[in-house]
Amino acid sequence: KGMNVNENLGIDFTALTYSIWVHWPQDFTANQYFFDARNHGGVWFFPNYTGFNINWNNNLRYNFGGGDSDAFNGDAWPNEWVHIVAISDLDTNNTRIYVNGSNRTADAANNTLANRKVGKNFRIGTRFTDSNRFQGKMGPVHIYRSALTDQEVMQLFNAYKGRFDAQSYEDLAAQEGWS
């Protein structure tokens, strides 16, 4: 359904981490938003835009299992809960992505420093215009104004994996035939 955070969450941080558990619907279509901060000069972060499973304002573009754009097929999406963490860190001048606790940044099609603006009227699960709502399920959503470490990302995954019966990235990749 989407959620609007009316309070000012801050303008531009030196680091920003998004952590989200998602379960895609079987009839998934393009341009469904995870987060949108454009009401206050920020940026968007949503799945399956211009052929990438995850696209954070074109700075971080990632396809599950690696591969070229348009590799995603919504009908073939695993019936699994997936933990996604995306981090933009000014100190290290990069953006990282993790899937089920595993750092998959090397698989990203594009990886440049992303905008870290959040501000007012931050949207979760919908576009700032209240369209393109994420139609799947979302679990715990965490947003940090810091860059989590590899160990902290793994702790987040481990803290909830039993609740969602989630597999490690390696097991999920083997099941789905990802490279």
Q: Is 175 helix (H, G, I), strand (E, B) or coil?
A: helix
> Mind listing the pLDDT tens digit for each residue in 124-158?
888 888 888 888 889 999 988 899 999 999 999 99
* Sequence-ordered list of residues with C-beta below 8 angstroms from that of 71, at least 6 positions apart, any chain: 51, 53, 63, 64, 65
What tens digit of pLDDT does each residue of 71-84 get?
Answer: 555 555 667 899 99
pTM of the predicted structure, to 2 decimals = 0.87
